[in-house]
Amino acid sequence: MRLLAQILSLLFRGTALMLGLVGAGMSLACLGGAFSDRLDALTHAAPLWLAMAIGAIALGGVSARGAERWVMVSLGGVGLLACAILMTPELWAAARFKPATVAQSDLKIIQFNVWHSNQTPEKSLAWILAQDADVVILEEGGGDSRLIVRALRARYPFASCDETWIFSRKKMLARGGDIDEGPYLSTAWATLADAKGPFTVMGVHYTWPVPAGPQQAQSRKVVRLASSFDRKSMILAGDFNSTPWSFTLKRQDKALGLRRWTRAMASWPAGKFSRVMAAPAPFLPIDHVYAGAQWRAVTVERGPALGSDHRPIVVTLRRQ
Q: Where are the alpha helices (DSSP H) in 201-303?
A: 214-226, 247-256
Residues 6 or more apart whose Cβ sits within 8 Å of residue 149: 138, 141, 142, 165
The model carries a pTM of 0.93
Task: Decide if 182 is inside a domain.
Answer: yes
Residue 187: give the domain boundaries. 107-319
Nearest Cα neighbor of 200 from 192, 208, 212 is 192
* 117 & 192 share domain: yes
Task: Decide if 102 is inside a domain.
Answer: no
CATH number of the domain at 182, please. 3.60.10.10
Residues in the chain, total: 320
pLDDT tens digits, the chain, 320 residues: what are they?
777 766 777 787 888 899 999 999 999 999 999 999 999 999 999 999 999 999 999 999 888 788 889 999 999 999 999 999 999 999 999 999 999 999 999 999 999 999 999 999 999 999 999 999 999 999 999 999 999 999 999 999 999 887 899 999 999 999 998 766 778 899 999 999 999 999 999 999 999 999 999 999 999 999 999 999 999 999 999 999 999 999 999 999 999 999 999 999 999 999 776 666 677 889 999 999 999 999 999 999 999 999 999 999 999 999 98
* 150 & 90 share domain: no
* 187 & 263 share domain: yes
- Among residues 96, 124, 139, the one where a domain terminates is 96
Task: Decide if 15 is inside a domain.
Answer: yes
* 274 & 188 share domain: yes
- Among residues 39, 74, 96, the one where a domain terminates is 96
